[in-house]
Structure 1
Amino acid sequence: MAELNGQPADPDALAILALTNYGHFTSMRVDDQRVRGLSHHLERLARDCAAVFGADLDPDLVRRYVRQAAADRSGASVVRVTIFDPGIDLGHPSKANTPNILVTARPAPALPLPPLRVKTIRYERDAPAIKHTGLFGSLHTRRAAQLDGYDDALFTTPDGRISEGPTWNVGFINDDDVIWPEASVLPGVTMALLQHHTPHTTAPITPADTQHLHAAFATNTSIGVRALSAIDETPLPPEHPQLARLRDTYLTIPGEPL
């Protein structure tokens, strides 16, 4: 399913998005026409639209398109809202200032998902505070990690600190304390919800530090709270009690109606 501005998407417009890959997006899990953190998703889209296109975005219009896209789908779904300008010119991206709203949907995975084994790779996304469509670097690191026998990558900064995963934020547990890495990362909606509902701290964390921590997890709107069972060669317990509490906390956050 793909709808552009509330209508079946024009293949020519989608080709422009594929060929230029200039835009931004958010993905949200829809359960019974409700979305945890919906207002955060809409705020992100408006904020990133100003940064990427220098234009305003109508959050009520986005909400209507998402509601329309999710109306005919049974069960939980992941709805992605991508903002791009079909009239963009590769030679003059400064003139791309007419954002269009592309909505796509797919079935949501059942939660919880199995733990991940991740490999640290030095990488920092372009404009890390923006959830943009430039996914080549992130997916390239994921591919490299998988070819080395891991499930996914975990980014480290040039000075050796852990930051985030290719499509998720990462958190750590020491005893029962929740620690988020101090680094330039995408401000994830699920991370923000967990931070709002759970005591936490922020600190610089290196791969060597993980040998002394008690658990770790990945988090985004599609996966909720997903345990990490290993970082490089360091095993981590995927059944730490705090992981279960975080998972339950996330699942009990009420969704906002579309």
Structure 2
Amino acid sequence: MANDFELVDPEGGDISGDEWEPIDVSETEADRIAQKRDRKFEQFEERIKDADQFKVEQSVFDDATLAALYKLVQDGHVEAFGGPLSTGKEANVYQALGPDDTEVAVKVYRINASNFRQMRDYLEGDPRFEGLGGKKKDVVLAWVKKESANLERARKAGVRVPTPIATERNVLVMEYIGNEAGRAKRLGEVHIENPETAYEVLREYMRRLYSAGLIHGDLSEYNVVFHEGQLVVIDLGQAVTVHHPNSRGFLERDCRNVANFFSRQGLDVTGDDLLEFVTTPEPDPSRD
């Protein structure tokens, strides 16, 4: 791993986000496509179901999910699908080809997610999701839109994250973080030559998130990857606003996880010290 880590610059402007704006989980165009089932959609569905990369995971691809993929193709966000990048209990991530030969990642959430209750723990108390019903479909659809909104908010705050591109129902299209050899390696999978600099960059990203009103909620060496000289924070689906009733506990856990990892790399750091740094506003140079 490189000795230096590049910090991205904040975009500036309004990064207050949409924390008070309700998330719409009503029927989408994908639902209507699945209900109509015209000939073009049925041909697309047959091609996807016959594709080798999807055969072992057909339980993920119900008609409405296939319709969501179809809609993303029709809208020009996806040109062709590749193989899986990761599989999990709540979602699978696939490599795909976007417009102009760009590579994108397609994250497909299962409607019948096994950790449905855990997802609700993060959603309940978030002001963006007040009044959300108890249907699994609504929870997952809200989760997808929440992840996209969190990524955009983090990006504007100057945190290096995958750029969100589009959402449709239970599918999120975002920037692919990797190269022709495969996905970028997680921090816990690589040898860190300069842990001091890596720690300084990651703690700054945590402070920028907090200043933008967000807390990752599941941050560890497994949700940070190294790519082209940068640390990239991933998996922001569960990130909550600072107004969430459990936000402090989530932040304290993030700080412990990060500090414990870098302690194992030989640094003299603690979760309490990291918590103090993250919650202390950055000095304003204009006041010097």
User: TM-score, normalising length from structure 2?
Assistant: 0.28
Structure with more of its chain in strand, by fraction: 1
If you compute each CA radius of gyration, which structure gives the higher value, 1 or 2? 2
TM-score normalised by the chain length of structure 1: 0.30
